[in-house]
Amino acid sequence: MSNTSAVTERVFREEYGRVFATLVRVFGDFDVAEEAIQDAFLVAIDRWPDSGVPPNPAAWITTTAKRKAIDGYRRERVRAEKYAVLAGASSNGHQEIDILEDSSLQDDRLRLIFTCCHPALAIEAQLALTLRTLGGLNTREIARAFLVAEATMAQRLVRAKRKIRVAGIPYRVPPDDLLPERLAAVLAVIYLIFNEGYSASEGDDLIRHDLCAEAIRLGRVLIALMPDEPESRGLLALMLLHDSRRDARISSSGEPMLLEDQDRLLWDRSQIDEGLRQLTFAERRRRPGQYQIQAAIAGEHAQSGTPDQTDWPRIAMLYGLLTKLNPSPVVELNRAVAVAMAMGPEYGLEIIDSIRDELDPYRWMHSTRAELLRKLGRYDEAREAFLHALELAENAAERSLLNKRLHEMEGTSRGAR
């Protein structure tokens, strides 16, 4: 019995997006599709323990959900007709629904992704809708993952669905002239979901890790649907390579671990291999983009057995490419680190000084500057930078890491004097 319910749950998680996307196309309405799919799963929970799981559970759910939705329409139509008679008006009824048309199942999910990530929706709404409809997460799970009240998240979803309907956001894969811009929006949403889970500094870690897994799953779906888009593959590679370090990123006492201090034996080898494979595949198209470049950087780290073996000149070069494509002071800060490692701390410091004002509120700029000043033996300035970073630190774990670096330096600097 419990085996059946586990299967039902698995089918729910894995097939929700697929089934939902088809139902939205058939019925043209998010709410009708959602209700129908819930009804169908209730039937499954009721029947499968006795009848056994059907050979193609997704098809079974889709068919049952369609039947449920049509029943709902019929009931509504009967009600509407009665009302019409009472009101003395004639009823237009509903359009006939073609339930036999079941081709291009894959296109349905792609349509759904583009609809959920439409730029006319607020970014929070895009994230929530994508997780709700394609990921099959329920409102409570999404609310917990984004650290907002369930009622707030429910409201957000209702508003977003209403806007899709009322504002006429089309349910389609955008035409060629809109595709590059809209695909970029889809990739951004998937990457935001991933980062929401990856850079979690508070909240329930387990749920947050689910977000990483969910983003990777969505990335895979996108590649299955649009295999020729190198940036989609670049994004998947990037997420796989980052996520491969998840077990090494937090020490046993719960502190964040810097890349150079991580136990590289804890990195997930098979995930690294897959990430590198996806990246190679993407790079063959010879259409570089920000995700491919970031994946290439993560790939360099992943392939270095020890921090000393890291190919810093290549990483510095890759950050240079990224800066040209996507100029941002944070990317420049990362380039500064790579340049410092490749050529010496003074060269890195030179880059940081050029973006110092812009990044003044950014704690990592101060901590990075502190590290480089320490390496140059400029201990007084380093201490000042560490203290500045400490002031800006956002949580206890960050503060404890910074304090540790500061104390290590005080030890060395005293020794040096």
Q: Which is nearer to other proteins, 168 or 327 (CB)?
A: 168
Residue 19 CB, nearest approach to other proteins (Å):
24
Smallest distance, Å, CB 94 to other proteins?
Answer: 12
Q: Minimum distance between the CB of residue 116 and other proteins, rounded to whole angstroms? A: 14
Q: Cα(417)–Cα(413) distance, rounded to whole angstroms?
A: 6
Nearer to other proteins by Cβ, of 174 and 197: the residue is 174
Token pair, residue 378, equals 């400029």
Q: Which residues lie closer than 8 Å to 195 by C-beta, 6 or more apart?
A: none
**Residue 140 parent element (H or E):** helix 139-145
Shortest separation between residue 88's beta carbon and other proteins, angstroms: 13
**What is the spatial distance between Cα 356 and Cα 354, in angstroms, rounded to a whole number?**
6
Comparison of 169 and 393: residue with beta carbon closer to other proteins: 169
CB of residue 77 to other proteins, shortest distance in Å: 14
Closer to other proteins by CB, 85 or 266: give it. 85
Question: What ranges in 268-358 are assigned the alpha helix state H?
Answer: 269-283, 290-302, 312-325, 329-343, 345-355
Nearer to other proteins among residue 182 and residue 356 (C-beta) = 182
Helix (H) or strand (E) holding 401, with range, is helix 396-416
Nearest distance, CB of residue 30 and other proteins, angstroms: 15
Contacts of 388 (CB under 8 A, 6+ apart): 366
Please, which residue, 120 or 122, has the CB nearer to other proteins? Answer: 120
Q: Is residue 397 within 8 Å of 200, Cβ to Cβ?
A: no
Q: CA-to-CA distance for 356 and 121, rounded, in angstroms?
A: 35
List Cβ neighbours of 277 (8 Å cut-off, separation of 6 or more).
none
Q: What are the tokens at 113?
A: 């992704």
Closest separation between CB of residue 21 and other proteins, Å? 18
Q: How far is the CB of 175 from other proteins (least distance, A)?
A: 8
Q: Which residues are 250's β-sheet partners?
A: 256
Residues within the interface to other proteins (CB under 8 A): 89, 118, 120, 166-170, 174, 178
Q: How many CB atoms lie within 10 A of CB 313?
A: 13
Q: Which is nearer to other proteins, 91 or 395 (CB)?
A: 91
Q: Which is nearer to other proteins, 147 or 178 (CB)?
A: 178
Shorter beta-carbon distance to other proteins: residue 169 or 376: 169
d(CA 339, CA 247): 28
Q: Is 203 left (phi over 0), alpha (psi -120 to 50) or beta?
A: left
d(CA 56, CA 201): 41
Shortest Å, Cβ 108 to other proteins: 17
The smaller minimum CB distance to other proteins, of residues 10 and 165, is found at 165
Least gap, CB of 120 to other proteins (angstroms):
6
Rg, C-alpha atoms of the chain: 26
Contact between residue 281 and residue 233 where contact means Cβ atoms under 8 Å apart: yes
Q: Give Cβ neighbours of residue 316 (< 8 Å, ≥ 6 apart).
A: 335, 338, 339, 341, 342, 343
